[in-house]
Amino acid sequence: MKRVLIANRGEIAIRVAKALNELGHVSVGIWTDNEPEAAHLEYCKEWVHLQGSSNRETYLNVPKILELIKKYKIDAVHPGYGFLSENAEFSRTLEKNGVTFIGPNTKAIEAMGDKAISKQWAEKAGVPVVPGSTGEVPTVAEAIKLCNSIGYPVLLKAVAGGGGKGMRPCYSEADVKINFEAVQREALSSFGNAGLLVEKYVQNPHHIEVQILADKKGNVYHLFERECSIQRRHQKIIEEAPSPFIGNDEALRKNICETAVKLAQAVGYDSAGTVEFIMGDDRKFYFLEMNTRIQVEHPITEEITGVDLVANMIKSAFGDALDFKSQSDITIKGHAIECRICAEDPISMLPAPGKIAGFETTFPQGIRFDHCLYQNFEITADFDPMIGKLIARGLTREVAIRKTLNALDGLLIDGLKTNIPLLKVIVAEEAFRGGHYTTHYIASVKPQEKVSVTESEVKLMEKVASMEMGAL
């Protein structure tokens, strides 16, 4: 039995707490000054106070977290996702203090945490990469020279970070001149690192990622792929497993999954992680990056494989045996879809903070709702607008789509705007239902223009908007 501090909040903190409790460990939750009654605390065995009201003062403050670790005799830390989950220095600091980091070893985080370095590792491992720079491009002149050699369009991309920030496509030399310094500024502001890469921009791409799970004994397994091509501002809002684009092409599925395993083995990976690829219409795929943490969309992989990724991630960190013994033990059964429920305007897709007056759920069978909602819960600009994840599972994709639509109809959240109306349009739309979509779906299909809301929802949005104007 270990005492494990959950250095996170919201639905992922609840998910981790449930896994720790199931495994017989002591789940220790954090409450902060701006979330004294956070929803995840209900699921934790113990609560500790991390003083502060901003992320910098709390979840990103390593010295304060270390104080809690020493004061409450913490054996391990699970970082969830975001915050310090992919921070190699945090992992190294815990190791120096004899505390287990529930995630991969520090060397693997360092190898995959920098996009330039991870690309070099991929090339060494024989993993296909998008043509472009092998390292940081320091000047606009060098960027233009490289862009002209590989051909347009190209993508200017921050070396560090993720979440769609610090990325801009360029279709000409003039675009590169205009965007280079702008992307540098955004990268520096978001990640503290202004370094940029230049890559060939794959048109009509599919964003496909492979779930990895590895132990401390050198065994690396894959849990098949997920399709994450429905995105806005380069951020995912709907994910599926398995990929409808790969479909029944088992040779392609085997190839991309085994390629992900090869990269994980090359960097000595030993936890849950995700290798992300971009795939063109020609079905050729290229390495994008590796996320050295549990992903937001991990539930759909759990639903089609029956493997508890979070529990096995914890078991791996403590050197315990995983729930399966070989790759052949992991199979796909059915199809799963995840919709990210966000506090945002369904048409502009911009964050819309507010307070939840109440919520109800009337779901069909096969629905999982990972959330942190409760009456009077206030969603502020301090945190990501995602407030829940609706996961539907069916024996076929058609059944999963049907259940998703019914579940979205049965999820009622009062008091603030959400993207539920937009999600309904997408899931019912012809291109999505046929599985014929790319990362350009939002820009090309424009589902936001087809969003219609009821009169009561219009009145609610007008009320919220007036309250926001009053606050300004």
Closest CA to 411 of 433, 390, 380: 390
Task: Please tell me the predicted confidence (pLDDT) of residue 189.
Answer: 81
Backbone dihedral angles phi then psi of residue 279, each to the nearest 5 degrees:
-125, 130
Question: Is the CB of residue 392 less than 8 Å from the CB of residue 427?
Answer: no
Arithmetic mean of pLDDT, 357-362: 93
Arithmetic mean of pLDDT, 310-336: 98
Nearest-angstrom CA–CA distance, 88 and 91: 5
Q: What distances in angstroms separate CA 258 from CA 119, 251, 295, one per listed residue?
A: 17, 11, 19
Give the chain's count of helices (H) and strands (E): 15, 20
- Angle at which helices 115-124 and 250-266 cross, to 10°: 110
Nearest-angstrom CA–CA distance, 438 and 457: 30
- Angle at which helices 106-113 and 88-96 cross, to 10°: 170
Task: Please tell me the predicted confidence (pLDDT) of residue 165.
Answer: 77
Per-residue confidence band for 141, with pLDDT thresholds at 50, 70 and 90: very high
Which tens digits make up the pLDDT trace of 29-69? Answer: 999 998 988 999 999 999 999 999 899 999 999 999 999 99
Q: Is the pLDDT of residue 445 over 90?
A: yes
Q: Is the pLDDT of residue 469 over 60?
A: no
Give the up-direction half-sphere exposure of residue 55: CA atoms within 13 A in the CB hemisphere. 11
Nearest-angstrom CA–CA distance, 171 and 175: 6
Closest CA to 282 of 202, 177, 376, 224: 202
Query: Alpha-carbon Rg of the chain, whole angstroms?
Result: 22
Q: Sort 131 into a burial class: Cβ within 10 Å, 0-12 / 13-18 / 19+.
A: middle
Task: Work out the widest C-alpha separation in the chain, in whole angstroms.
Answer: 60
Per-residue confidence band for 135, with pLDDT thresholds at 50, 70 and 90: confident
Which tens digits make up the pLDDT trace of 360-401? Answer: 999 999 999 999 999 999 998 888 899 999 999 999 999 999
Closest CA to 83 of 67, 62, 113: 62
| Domains identified in the chain and CATH numbers | 3-102 (3.40.50.20), 131-200 (3.30.1490.20), 206-460 (3.30.470.20)
Helix (H) or strand (E) holding 49: strand 46-49
Which tens digits make up the pLDDT trace of 239-282? Answer: 999 999 999 999 999 999 999 999 999 999 999 999 999 999 88
List, by residue number, the catalytic residues. 293
Which tens digits make up the pLDDT trace of 191-220? Answer: 888 999 999 988 889 999 999 999 999 999
User: CA 411, 415, 416, 422 torsion: positive or negative?
Assistant: positive
- Provide CB contacts within 8 A for 424, sequence distance 6+: 405, 408, 409
Report the SS3 class of residue 91. helix
